[in-house]
Amino acid sequence: MNQIFTVTGMSCAVCQAHVEKAVSALAGVKSARVNLLQNILTVEYDEKKLSSSQIIQAVEKSGYKAQVQRASTESVQTIAQQSEQLKYRFWYSVCWLVPLMYVAMGKMLPSFYPNVLNGSFVQNACLQILLTLPILLLNREIFYRGCIQLFRKMPTMDSLVGLGAGSSVLFSLCNVALGTIQGKSLDLYFESAAMIVTLVTLGKWLEARAKVRMTSAISGLVQLLPTQVRIKRNEAERTVLLEQLAQGDIMVVRAGERLSADGIVQTGTGTVDESVLTGESFPKEKESGDFVSAGTLLTDGYLEVVVHQVGTRTLLAQMVRLVEDAASSKAPMAQLADRVSHVFVPIVLGIAAATWIIWWLCGSSFSFALTCAVAVLVISCPCALGLATPTAIMVGMRQAAKYGILVKDASALEMLARITTVVLDKTGTVTTGQLQVAQVITAKGVSETELLQVASAVERPSQHPFAKALKEYVRAKEYSAKEVETFEAVPGKGVRGKIGGSVLLGGNLKMMQEYAIAIETFSLPAGQSPLFFAKDQKFLGTILFSDTLKPSAKNGIAYLNRLRKKVILLTGDNEPTAVAVAAQANISHVQAGVLPQEKEQVIGRLKTGKETVAMVGDGVNDAPALARADVGIAFRAGTDIASDTADVVLMKDDLTDIGIALELGVAVVRNMKENLFWAFFYNVLGIPLAAGVFFPILGWKLNPMVAAAAMSLSSICVVSNALRLRFFRPKNLKF
């Protein structure tokens, strides 16, 4: 089973790695993924071997707190609470830090420094201690968690900051004692320690605020649902809580109200704004028999809706879950950050120790060596490293959802940026899939009535678009058809059935050839597809079907061409029809007459040829190809199997969304690379500067307080850069 836990106490990529490692080590765990941005742990495990309480114990043993997530908004609430706590901690710390800085450094401005503070070294030191203690107490979690993780040999960011600030405090206390004994003034670093923890708290607060802004965007979708619902029972209306709404209830919705569940309109007409699900700005007219979704807004009219799905089974809830799951997943690029974070803190501790020892051996003062070591510890925060990829993924997923594009995992989002070839199914993807009977051609000696009776009988059990079009045509002609006694669908070829011992066949040319049925030749009009019918090895005739392009087909293909993607039309239909459709849509590459299993093989050959392939389809026969492609893309209007197999689901029946998805993938990957650059840049440049590498040559030396500010700035830069994705707009989308 899959279960989500809310985890508190995590502060960096190292914390994330520790929690994942602790949970993954449990017997029965199949996978464990931590989302540092949302503070959640997603675990897939065998409930027969493991319980949720054991998972919580494992998390707590690794130094953090966890609980089973009871609602999808719980993680946002937890982060919001942490943000408030950090805000108060920061401002209370500032209240004590300002006078501390004045006492410690006011002597630099003697005209503004009162004589009452200009006392002995001991008096001044004691006053600094009194002002420092409240700040250390307010931020004691840093020291507590840092020490716990250090003793468990799993040091984290808090360990680095705790060691840096703690070393400054201990060194200052030793100097207070030594100065008291010797009767002279010595260097004190209480203000540095206080400033370090205050700036770290500021960074955590700003980071938490950004997290709330990003995660609340997803949870806000759930809050679209009204808490109360008006239902109709026994011709009387009553109001019930959303939790009391059940399948089969008649939901009453008036203009200006949002729907609380998925269902089918029973009575009434209205205009529904579905932009929250599809991104389409234009409302749609709904009437009896139409499907409506939870969270959508009835802008005008009156509807009575038979409830089909409620709660977590609604399309809105599934959409939220998909986005959350995708945000919790890891992109391949994130693996680099994971590998670095496992060894990062121990390496930093080693560098800090080496810095202190080398400067001490080189004859520098103890305070100089300590200052450099503390600066190394403080600036080397892995927060930015842990946020680099999840922040970009989270905002990218939300932007995709705004355009009606659901990306199921982070790896698919990253792979969208690499796509070189887009393979399109024809029927239902490039064309509407709403086929019509264009012409009925009978064999010699066969009447139209006889042909249509056999055709409608053998095609009646089928759900193929050809069969549906034929049934509509026969219904309009008012022909009667017998029920077949047996029925078999032959994938990629046609259908077969029996009536009273007679074998009925309906299918393409391959099927007729397989049964050695001689077909009368005729001229096939371009853009029309034939189905051949036979009874007891006797050819009865041909029925021609025509299809039309989707309204978005030409614009969608032109968009992909502007993105310089190779577009291939892949279909099981005959070549003349496929070529005609491709010509109308301006598709230059066509592969026709391909069976479902052969579609998958075509995708495989393209990948072998060093192409990165996106397959777009909507039918059951597209599922193998969707699974084989680097990225499978399906339309929500297609079959459930296609949507389940695909990596990306397009909520609108619009081909331009394929190009939008590809452009967004490029933007997200570019943003992740920028974030990783900033995360590594601060450490690559900051650690040597903090260690004093440039001091002998250029005289550059990094104060620990400046190091703390730079460390906080690195996380803020990463989060702020990711938030830029909120302004993403497709550059190549033109009409």
Rounded Cα gap, residues 570 and 590, in angstroms: 6
Active-site position among 262, 273, 425, 654? 425
Task: Provide the strand spans (E) within 344-420.
Answer: 405-407
The answer to whether the beta carbons of residues 603 and 632 sit under 8 Å apart is no
User: Is residue 622 annotated as part of the catalytic site, yes or no?
Assistant: no
3-state SS assignment for residue 159:
helix
**C-beta separation of 49 from 27 below 8 A:** yes
How does DSSP classify residue 186? -
Contact 349, 124 (CB under 8 A): no
CB 35 within 8 A of CB 42: yes
Q: What is the DSSP letter of 241?
A: E
Written as one string, the DSSP assignment of 292-360 is E-TT-EEEEEEEEEEEEE-GGGSHHHHHHHHHHHHHHS--TTHHHHHHHHHHHHHHHHHHHHHHHHHHH
Please give the Cα distance from 353 to 199 (Å, whole number). Answer: 23
Q: Which two tokens stand for residue 479?
A: 């022909």
Residue at 434: amino acid letter = Q
Tokens of 391: 């922040």
Q: Does residue 449 contact residue 473 with C-beta atoms inside 8 Å?
A: no
- Who's near 199: CB < 8 A, 6+ residues apart? 705, 708, 709, 711, 712
For β-strands 589-591 and 494-499, DSSP reports them as unpaired
Alpha carbon distance 442, 419 (integer Å) = 47
Contact 164, 371 (CB under 8 A): no
Rounded CA separation 16/386 (Å): 8
Residue whose C-alpha is closest to residue 553's, from 596, 589, 583, 579: 583
Rounded Cα distance between 619 and 572, Å, is: 12
- Smallest CA-to-CA distance from 397 within 638, 564, 647 is with 647
Q: How many C-beta atoms lie closer than 10 Å to residue 645's C-beta?
A: 21
Q: List Cβ neighbours of 265 (8 Å cut-off, separation of 6 or more).
A: 286, 287, 288, 289, 290, 291, 292, 303, 304, 305
∠ Cα 433 627 639 (to 5°) = 35
Positions marked catalytic: 425
